[in-house]
Amino acid sequence: MTSTDLPQTVDNLAPADPEIAISVQNVSKMFEIRTDSGGGIKSALTGFHRAKPKEFWAVKDVSVDVPRGSMLGIIGRNGSGKSTLLRQMCGIYSPTKGRIEVRGRITALLELGAGFVPQLTGRENVYMNSAVLGIPRERTEAIMGEVAELADIGDFFDNPVETYSSGMRARLGFAVSVHLEPDILLADEIISVGDVSFSKNGIKHMTRMRKEGVTIVLVAHGLAIMERLCDQVLWLHAGEAQLLGEPRDVIREYRDFMTMGDEALPTEDQSASDNPITHLEISSDDGIEYGYTGAPLSVHAAYDLPEPVEDAHLSIRFIAQDTEVFLGSADQAINQRLEGRGTIDVLVPILAVPPGQYALELDITEGTGRDAVSIASRRTRVPIRPLEEITLRDFVDLGADWRIH
Amino acid sequence: MAIENPPIVFTAASQQRNLVDSFREVWEYRGYIGYLAKRELRTNYLKTYLGWIWSLVEPLMTLAIYSLVFGYILDTTRGAASPTGLENFPAFLFAALVYWGFFRQTANSTMVAFSGSLNLRKKLYFPPAAPSIARVISKTIEMVPEILMLMAFYLLLWGITGIRTVGPTWIIMAPLLVLVCLLGTGVGLWLAVPNSRFGDIGMLFNVFLRLYFYITPIIWPLEIIDGRITNPIIRGIAIWSPLTQVVEAARDGIYRLQWPSLGTWLYLVVISTGTFVTGWIRFHRSAGKAAEGQ
């Protein structure tokens, strides 16, 4: 049941095992990036400036089998091809190479409430949404009560969706989706939407569907959830299958990678040797390579810039490895040129970051805001530990001064 | 519990659908298409006080302007006489305008609905033709009040002139509507994918339509062509273009109360279904790619 022997080449494709719900076989997806988008028909007719479309391979030769009733998690950084792969599984994109076989009725949830019509009421939108997901009207009528209950939006259910808050919209979208009873559920980031209780609800229903034998493919950032629910996890990096296997193993490797930065993989443009930031480390008071919550933290870095940088800006931030949530950013603008070799020292007086595994990232950009051009970026792994009694459960230590009378 | 159905296979060619598969898929999504059409009808005039009445304002206004300029000021009415003895330019014009307007609307709706759906198509799977079909359905339903208005107008004329203006040939209105719908949608399907890439296509099409409007005998009777137009190309277009045949068939049935010739019907059936089927095939060859943003 859980055998996941992958076909190695397109040629040895045996008729897929009926116990395999989704069989992804050597799938690649290429997009043509047109650089002359402003030219329109004029350049198409005249042939002037017709730059050759640039090829971008969003997914490269990925193979994975999802046995019926099992759950596959797909992880990877933003832009690693997760969503593109998911969209190919439900037919929105077609593979440029390779093939995908799907057995069973698919429900794809790429965005909660996608296709909701603002002018129609919640109830009408439920009908409409069910219709596009292939649910017969009688079935929708039968589940309408449950949907309304789960959405928990009260009288708004019969108001136009344009009067909803974004949270209500998401709740309604989710409520529809969990009552669809598909054979296969493809879900992109849906449980990370909304508040905590809503996410919990999402996990609860996903677990229920899993028990009922629904095959699930889930793209999410929440690694802990992935580890708990999935049978196998696929890690995509720059469109390629970096690792496929037991959730525990894959997620551990992925965490290491996320905290170590890009040096671990030579696939990035900036390998360790030619990174203009030649060195990055933390130096706590006692010289140990940990950060302590609530204590000062010093960061030491060295740079060697091949070209001078006008209007250089520096920033550091911590990236929580579980969630890729960015924490803390100390910007230091330098309104002068930065050139050649030098060192950077940053002192964080009180580290208001909760204990955990983090990557510390140092960025050098030219300019700020939207015009910023990235010059260099380097990450290093920084475990942050609690200082004796301090137990911080939230993201940030507010350092609040409490007076209770 | 084994799933007996063969697997759905997605490959590089799977966005291209053959004729049978594409129709079957549209049929499977009929429920969704119905809701889309309902949405169109509901939301078009949502923020207006008069509501769907507005769908009558444009055709009536066009009728009034052309009647004033061409029927009254320029007096092109000679030749607009019906064998029934009725000689009324607005009635003569109305019968043709209804079908011209419907052609224009179906062609444009098909194009616009497709371009407008591409963003949603990245988040939700539906047959690429679904939004266009829904929009055409809503436009067809909007034709009902317009045709009722036409009928009321003719009844009024009967009352005023005493000449019978209503006859059994009126039933051709329905099949003619179907043929124009196929023709307009077919043209729209041919242009929808190119238009989604180059918006210029839609612009060009509408410029072309304005020219085509005046070459087609809508505001002028086809009979006057003999004395005036000698250029064989313009003559050929004016007499044999599909819209001329549509307009003349409409006038035969509605205004002159005579049956359009069998030749006209054959011509229209071949042209309309031909345009639609080829447009449909062409559309489904490239719509999937266009929906991917390529």
Contact B257/A at CB under 8 A: no
- Closest Cβ opposite residue A104 in set B3, B120, B199: B3
Chain B residue with minimal CA distance to A90? Answer: B125
Which token pair is A139? Answer: 């079935």
Contact B28/A at CB under 8 A: yes
- Mean pLDDT is lowest, of A191-195, B22-26, B213-217, for A191-195
CB B138 within 8 A of CB B40: yes
Task: Examine the pLDDT at A278 and tell me if it is beyond 70.
Answer: yes
A103 vs B124: CB contact, 8 Å cut-off? no
Residue B256 lies in a domain: yes
Q: Which residues of A fall within a CB distance of 8 Å from B14? A: 91, 94
In this prediction, residue A6 carries a pLDDT of 38
- Mean pLDDT is lowest, of A65-74, A366-375, B170-179, B230-239, for A366-375
Share above pLDDT 70 across residues of chain A, in percent, rounded to a whole number: 73
Contact B122/A at CB under 8 A: yes
Which one is predicted more confidently, A354 or A261? A354
A108 vs B2: CB contact, 8 Å cut-off? no
Q: Which residues of A fall within a CB distance of 8 Å from B124? A: 92, 108, 110-111, 114-115, 132
Which one is predicted more confidently, A259 or A205? A205
Chain A residue with minimal CA distance to B16? Answer: A94
Query: Domain spanning A20-35+52-260: which superfamily?
Result: P-loop containing nucleotide triphosphate hydrolases (3.40.50.300)
CB B131 within 8 A of CB B114: yes
Distance from CA of B31 to the nearest CA of A (A): 6
Averaged pLDDT of chain A: 76
Task: Examine the pLDDT at B3 and tell me if it is beyond 50.
Answer: no
Distance from CA of B38 to the nearest CA of A (A): 10
B294 vs A31: CB contact, 8 Å cut-off? yes
- Mean pLDDT is lowest, of A13-27, A183-197, B153-167, for A183-197
**φ/ψ of residue A366, rounded to 5:** -105, 120
Q: What is the mean pLDDT of residues A125-137?
A: 82
Q: Which residue has the tokens 């095959």?
A: A215
Q: Which residues of A fall within a CB distance of 8 Å from B35? A: 124, 127-128, 131
Which residues are paired to A384 by β-bridges? A291, A356
In this prediction, residue A41 carries a pLDDT of 57
Q: What is the mean pLDDT of residues A41-51?
A: 56
Distance from CA of A32 to the nearest CA of B (A): 7
Q: Which residues of B fall within a CB distance of 8 Å from A100? A: 9-11
Task: Look up the pTM and report it.
Answer: 0.72
What letter represents residue A24's amino acid?
A: V
In this prediction, residue A13 carries a pLDDT of 45
Q: In which band, very low, low, confident or very high, does the pLDDT at A221 lie, cut at 50, 70 and 90?
A: low
Contact B47/A at CB under 8 A: no
Residue B249 lies in a domain: yes
**φ/ψ of residue A98, rounded to 5:** 80, -175
Structural domain boundaries enclosing B144 = 19-279
Cβ of B193: how many Cβ atoms within 10 Å?
23
- Closest Cβ opposite residue B288 in set A94, A111, A115: A94
In this prediction, residue B187 carries a pLDDT of 97
Alpha-helical regions (H) of chain B:
19-28, 30-44, 54-66, 89-121, 130-161, 173-197, 200-215, 225-228, 232-240, 242-254, 262-291
- Closest Cβ opposite residue B35 in set A91, A131, A136: A131
- Mean pLDDT is lowest, of A198-202, B67-71, B134-138, B275-279, for A198-202
- Closest Cβ opposite residue A92 in set B7, B121, B200: B121
Chain B residue with minimal CA distance to A28? Answer: B12
Q: In which band, very low, low, confident or very high, does the pLDDT at B194 lie, cut at 50, 70 and 90?
A: very high
Closest C-alpha among A371, A206, A351, A182 to residue A282: A351
Q: Which residues of B fall within a CB distance of 8 Å from A93? A: 292
* Cα separation, B238 vs B222, whole angstroms: 8
In this prediction, residue A392 carries a pLDDT of 46
**φ/ψ of residue B134, rounded to 5:** -60, -40
Q: What is the mean pLDDT of residues B232-254?
A: 92
Q: What is the mean pLDDT of residues A177-186?
A: 80
Task: Examine the pLDDT at B211 and tell me if it is beyond 90.
Answer: yes
Q: Which residues of B fall within a CB distance of 8 Å from A1? A: none
| A98 Cβ contact list (under 8 Å, min separation 6) | A10, A24, A25, A26, A27, A28, A61, A62, A63, B11
Q: Which residues of B fall within a CB distance of 8 Å from A32? A: 294
B32 vs A31: CB contact, 8 Å cut-off? no
A128 vs B35: CB contact, 8 Å cut-off? yes
Chain B residue with minimal CA distance to A112? Answer: B123
Which one is predicted more confidently, A77 or B112? B112
CB A109 within 8 A of CB A120: no
* Cα separation, B234 vs A194, whole angstroms: 64
Task: Examine the pLDDT at A83 and tell me if it is beyond 50.
Answer: yes
Q: In which band, very low, low, confident or very high, does the pLDDT at A271 lie, cut at 50, 70 and 90?
A: very low
Q: What is the mean pLDDT of residues B171-196?
A: 96
Alpha-helical regions (H) of B53-88:
54-66
- Closest Cβ opposite residue A99 in set B3, B11, B199: B11
- Closest Cβ opposite residue B14 in set A23, A40, A91: A91
Distance from CA of A118 to the nearest CA of B (A): 10
Residue B202 lies in a domain: yes
B122 vs A115: CB contact, 8 Å cut-off? no
B7 vs A103: CB contact, 8 Å cut-off? yes
Of the ranges A29-43, A139-153, B104-118, the best mean pLDDT one:
B104-118
Contact B134/A at CB under 8 A: no
In this prediction, residue A264 carries a pLDDT of 40
What architecture is the A273-386 domain classified under in CATH?
A: Distorted Sandwich (2.70)
In this prediction, residue A147 carries a pLDDT of 86
Q: In which band, very low, low, confident or very high, does the pLDDT at A308 lie, cut at 50, 70 and 90?
A: confident
* Cα separation, B159 vs B142, whole angstroms: 27
Residue A115 C-alpha from the chain's centroid: 22
B10 vs A137: CB contact, 8 Å cut-off? no
Residue B185 lies in a domain: yes
- Closest Cβ opposite residue A92 in set B28, B34, B125: B125
As a residue count, chain A comes to: 405
Distance from CA of B139 to the nearest CA of A (A): 19
Residue B92 lies in a domain: yes
Task: Examine the pLDDT at A1 and tell me if it is beyond 60.
Answer: no
What total of structural domains would you count in chain B?
A: 1
What are the residue ranges spanned by the domains of chain A?
Answer: 20-35+52-260, 273-386
ipTM: 0.71
Which residues are paired to A314 by β-bridges? A332, A364
Averaged pLDDT of chain B: 88
CB A326 within 8 A of CB A299: no
The kind and range of the H/E element at A59 are strand A54-67
What letter represents residue B246's amino acid?
A: V
In this prediction, residue B69 carries a pLDDT of 83
Share above pLDDT 90 across residues of chain B, in percent, rounded to a whole number: 49
A94 vs B39: CB contact, 8 Å cut-off? no
A102 vs B121: CB contact, 8 Å cut-off? no
B292 vs A93: CB contact, 8 Å cut-off? yes
Task: Examine the pLDDT at A268 and tell me if it is beyond 80.
Answer: no
